[in-house]
Amino acid sequence: MRSVRIVTFALAAALAVPLATSTATAKPSADHEAAPHSNAKFDRLRWAAPEGFFIGSAAAGGGHHLEQDYPDPFTFDKKYRKILGQQFNSVSAENQMKWEFIHPERDQYRFEEADAIVEFAQRNRQAVRGHTLLWHSQNPDWLEEGDFTKEELRAILKDHIDTVVGRYAGKIQQWDVANEIFNDQAELRTEENIWIRELGPEIVADAFRWAHEADPEAKLFLNDYNVEGINAKSDAYYELAQELLEQGVPLHGFGAQGHLSTRYGFPGDLQQNLQRFADLGLETAITEIDVRMDLPASGKPTKEQLRQQADYYQQALSACLAVNDCNSFTIWGFTDKYSWVPVFFEGEGSATVMTERFVRKPAFFALQSTLKEARTR
Ligand code: 9MR
């Protein structure tokens, strides 16, 4: 499915003046995009961050990108790679470690792209978030449509976890072991999720155990969307987390993805929600934040929309910074050029912190100043 991409080049001109103020050399013109990415260390998000705090971005590639008319962003967009390396001290594989990508045939793994991300991260002294091992989506046809016995399926999952987690052992900071296992009614996805459907809910605990055996250093996470606030779905995770911990399952963290929209209010109880997981002894993380909006006919967000977006990013980051052991905050891409949002939500977009031409939006500066403030506290 191809869909319309909203072109927001005009934004560069509109935002040039206010956004250029942080660097003395920035020229107030549409093509000043080269200037703001100065080499000044303190100008970068990763250097603004407090000691031990990880500010990350998805590394764009695979998934919806395969249907767009540009080459693989992480592999081929030099400017994109440069900013990814400079600004962030954590990266997540947007699609490159998902089953359909990394395990396209039963007896065939495809590691090139995932290897490249891990190597890039090591070169740039970045942590890596691994995503993901047990999910209902983006599974290869050979798996979803295969005719396997329960024993075979169990062995397939264990082999996958041993192989993928084992390959990057010691190099992945956090793994999203189980992704989106509850639906929006806060029920376990007992039909959609092949593993839970065929092997029962206990398979979730096994996935954590196998991942832990394969890489005892990696922190193992549950991860989902619409679990930012306290609601039925995050309650379901809270209960599950307690059960797993009581059983001695190596569960270490809870990730709230953070796919927010200005259509809905900011989840004001985010901090309180993260805190209750922290109180269980878990780490927490914001793993995939973006803040989409309904774009006007011009395709260009208004100043007020950008201000509101900056406020959402800032509030989310502040909530994480306020909770002990919320040490990782990842944005789901840093540029609108490669955002999944316009591809999946017609009429919505501008969800990331930089325009398609890498011009920083108010949201970028909101993150930067919030990090700096936390560092100097
Ligand atoms: O950003 C990803 C996009 O490229 C893929 O096409 C899409 C397919 O489902 O998945 C996107 O990433 C998702 C992530 O893996 C899990 N949480 C929701 C993210 C946005 O859909």
**How far, in Å, CA of 318 to CA of 316, rounded?**
5
Whole-number Å distance between alpha carbons of 156 and 311 = 44
Mean pLDDT on 284-295: 99
Helices (H), 215-333: 232-246, 270-279, 303-321
Q: Contact, 72 vs 337, CB < 8 A? A: no
How many A from CA of 186 to the centre of ligand 1? 20
Lowest-confidence range among 21-35, 83-97, 240-254? Answer: 21-35
Is 187 annotated in the active site? no
In a domain, 10, yes or no: no
Residue 210 to residue 250: CA distance in whole angstroms: 9
Predicted pLDDT of residue 38: 53
Question: Dihedral angle at the C-alpha atoms of 163, 164, 170, 175, nearest 10 degrees?
Answer: -140
Percent of the chain with pLDDT over 70: 89
Q: Which protein residue has the closest C-alpha to ligand 1 atom 10?
A: 63
Q: Considering only CA atoms, which residue is closest to atom 5 of ligand 1? A: 63
pLDDT at 373: 97
pLDDT for 38-77, tens place per residue?
556 768 999 999 999 999 999 999 999 999 999 999 999 9
Asked whether residue 13 is assigned to any structural domain, the reply reads no
For the chain, strand residue ranges (E) read 54-59, 90-93, 127-134, 174-179, 219-224, 253-256, 259-261, 283-294, 326-331, 348-349
**Domain carrying residue 44:** 25-375
Residue 5 within any structural domain of the chain: no
Q: What is the position in ligand 1's atom list of the atom closest to the CA of 62?
A: 4
202 is catalytic: no
- CATH number, domain with residue 164: 3.20.20.80
Phi, psi (rounded to 5 degrees) for 54: -110, 120
Who wins on pLDDT, 88 or 29?
A: 88
CA of 94 to the centre of ligand 1 (A): 7
Query: Is residue 349 situated within a structural domain?
Result: yes
Q: Is residue 1 part of a domain?
A: no
Q: Show the CA angle centred on residue 341, arms to residues 293 and 90, nearest 5°.
A: 105
Q: What is the mean pLDDT of residues 274-296?
A: 98
Atom of ligand 1 nearest to the CA of 333: 1
- Give pLDDT, residue 39: 54
pLDDT value for 43: 84
Q: Please count the structural domains in the chain.
A: 1
* Segment 272-295 mean pLDDT: 99
Reported confidence tier of residue 23, pLDDT bands at 50, 70, 90? very low
For the ranges 25-39, 92-106, 129-143, 310-324, the lowest mean pLDDT is seen at 25-39
Tokens 């490159």, located at residue: 96
For residue 208, what are the CA distances in angstroms to 175, 203, 222, 249, 281? 10, 9, 9, 7, 16
In which residue are the tokens 């990763």 written? 46
Name beta bridge partners: 128: 91
Rounded CA separation 343/221 (Å): 27
**If you search the block for the tokens 């072991």, which residue do you land on?**
177
Residue 123 within a domain: yes
Give the rounded distance of the alpha carbon of 27 from its chain centre.
32
Please, are residues 64 and 344 in contact by the beta-carbon 8 Å criterion?
yes
Q: 0.75 exceeded by the pTM?
A: yes
Q: How many Cα atoms within 13 Å fall on the side-chain side of residue 291?
A: 27
What's the CA gap between 202 and 213, in Å, rounded? 17
For 151-175, b/e burial (b = at least 16 CB within 10 A) is: eebbebbbebbeebbebbeebbbbb
Residues 285, 132: Cα–Cα separation, whole Å = 15
Least confident interval from 9-18, 101-110, 117-126, 319-328: 9-18
8 A C-beta contact, residue 352 and residue 290: yes
Q: Is the pLDDT of residue 260 over 90?
A: yes
Q: How far apart are CA 75 and CA 116, in angstroms?
A: 8
241's tokens? 């987390």
Q: Is residue 9 part of a domain?
A: no
- Nearest alpha carbon, ligand 1 atom 19: 288
* Strands of 168-313, DSSP E: 174-179, 219-224, 253-256, 259-261, 283-294
pLDDT at 13: 29
Buried b (16+ CB within 10 A) or exposed e, 302-314: eeebbebbbbbbb
Contacts of 16 (CB under 8 A, 6+ apart): 26, 27, 28, 29, 30, 32, 359
Distance CA 314, CA 353 (A): 11
Taking each helix axis from N to C end, the angle separating 150-167 and 202-214, rounded to the nearest 10 degrees, works out to 30
137 lines ligand 1 (CB under 6 A): yes
Percent share of the chain, pLDDT over 90: 88
H-helix or E-strand containing 149?
Answer: none
Cβ–ligand 1 contact at 95 (below 6 Å): yes
**What count of Cα atoms within 13 Å lies in the side-chain half-sphere of residue 12?**
21
Does 257 contact ligand 1 (Cβ within 6 A)?
yes
Q: Decide if 259 contacts 289 (C-beta within 8 A).
A: yes
The pLDDT of residue 106 is above 60: yes
If you count them, how many residues does the chain have?
Answer: 377
Does residue 333 sit within a domain? yes
* pLDDT computed for residue 306 by the predictor: 98
